[in-house]
Amino acid sequence: MHLIIPYAASHALPFPEALHGLQLRNLQALLAHLQRQQTLQDPEPTPLHLPHERLQAQALGWPLEASVLPWAAWQQLQQGHASREPQAWMTPCHWQVGMDQVVMADPAHLRLSDEESQQLLQAMQPFLQEDGLHVTWHSPLLWHVRGEILGDLATASLDRVIGQNIKHWLPDTPSARPLQRLQSEMQMLLYNHPVNDAREARRQHTVNSFWLHGAGALPNGTSQPLAVTVVSGLRASALEGDERAWQSAWQTLDATALAEALQHFQATGQLTLSLCSEHRAHTYTAASASWPQRTWRQVRHWIHPASSSAALQALITP
């Protein structure tokens, strides 16, 4: 069993203040028995994908530092739609234009309805089809894309870009030129679209662009990771920088997924736990040990209990 926890700590939250009063008994109990075996640190320049995505990719047998991680194709495979065709996710979004930068707002804040999303996609379809992109509606913020131009398109994950200047994350390769042109065309098309006119009248953010992510074709030999679970319960509060909501989400996670993980460890003696922030991941495993070593660890834990707060703080400041 491998449990991956994104946003276990976040640079969007005040640390160490966010840890005050946070009691995570199951996490602390697990850390008393596990040893940190791997540290994954973002190199410079910052990769297109977050540490938890790269760990999951590693579990799938994909190269850890690959610039193309075809999550759309893999997620379709999990739904029984196996295809080697290049695929991607397209997310309608709002770009906040400032004096010297353009910032991606969190698409979740659009609260885009099914009808609004479908109307926007319908208007965009002729332009998308001209570039050989076949787009189907999946949900208000996820449109599924198929097309040959997606095969070697290195796209940053959506979470890398939210709240950031998009200039640093826009694909800038020859294969990305059709995408750059298409984004410019869509900005003009969407400017006076009736959906956006209505949203402006309600003082809501308009949809003025889109973001492609999870692009690429499945590598040969891709397999389902064995007992790997990515828990996303901390994501929304971390992206919003909501300290209280993040603490509450951690308490819920500790009482559910980590309680189950502790039970699994107590029954099998086996567990891998990865705690992740936006730029670092620490992986803990149950290292094999002799009887005297296990006894010494228990004594050491009684004297100096493992600190969940220290483990989370280390994801921000090692």
Q: Are residues 81 and 151 in the same domain?
A: yes
Answer yes or no: are the C-beta atoms of 281 and 275 closer than 8 Å. Answer: yes
pLDDT > 90 fraction of the chain, expressed in percent and rounded: 75
- Structure-model confidence comparison of residues 208 and 226, the more confident one: 208
Tell which of 216, 238, 255 closes a domain.
216
Q: What is the mean pLDDT of the chain?
A: 90
Could you tell me how many residues make up the chain? 318
- Average of pLDDT values for 217-243? 87
Tokens representing 235 are 């994501």
Q: Quick check: is 247 in a domain?
A: yes
pLDDT > 70 fraction of the chain, expressed in percent and rounded: 92
Q: Quick check: is 231 in a domain?
A: yes
Q: Are residues 238 and 288 in the same domain?
A: yes
Structurally, the chain folds into a number of domains equal to 2
Q: Quick check: is 243 in a domain?
A: yes
Q: Under 8 Å CB-to-CB from 224, ≥6 apart: which residues?
A: 78
Q: Quick check: is 21 in a domain?
A: yes
Q: Are residues 203 and 292 in the same domain?
A: no
Q: Are residues 94 and 155 in the same domain?
A: yes
Tell which of 216, 246, 274 closes a domain.
216
- Average of pLDDT values for 28-40? 93
Q: Quick check: is 318 in a domain?
A: no
Q: Are residues 246 and 301 in the same domain?
A: yes
Q: Are residues 108 and 75 in the same domain?
A: yes
Q: Are residues 187 and 281 in the same domain?
A: no
Q: Under 8 Å CB-to-CB from 142, ≥6 apart: which residues?
A: 89, 90, 91
CA dist 215 and 149 (Å) reads 10
Q: Are residues 169 and 84 in the same domain?
A: yes
pLDDT at residue 25 is higher than 70: yes
Q: Looking at residue 303, what is its pLDDT? A: 43
Q: In which band, very low, low, confident or very high, does the pLDDT at 306 lie, cut at 50, 70 and 90?
A: low
Task: Dump pLDDT digits (tens) for 111-158.
Answer: 999 999 999 999 999 999 999 999 999 999 999 999 999 988 999 999
Q: Are residues 6 and 40 in the same domain?
A: yes
CA dist 269 and 250 (Å) reads 24
Taking the model in full, what pTM does it have?
Answer: 0.90
- Structure-model confidence comparison of residues 294 and 77, the more confident one: 77
Tell which of 194, 216, 238 closes a domain.
216
* Domain assignment of residue 91, given as a range: 71-216
Tokens representing 166 are 């998009």
Q: Are residues 144 and 181 in the same domain?
A: yes
Q: Quick check: is 66 in a domain?
A: no
Strand ranges (DSSP E) for the chain?
2-5, 35-41, 87-93, 95-97, 102-104, 134-139, 142-146, 209-216, 228-230, 272-276, 280-285
Most confident of 55-59, 208-212, 293-297: 208-212
Tokens representing 202 are 């309600």
Q: Are residues 103 and 184 in the same domain?
A: yes
Q: Quick check: is 25 in a domain?
A: yes
Q: Are residues 271 and 300 in the same domain?
A: yes
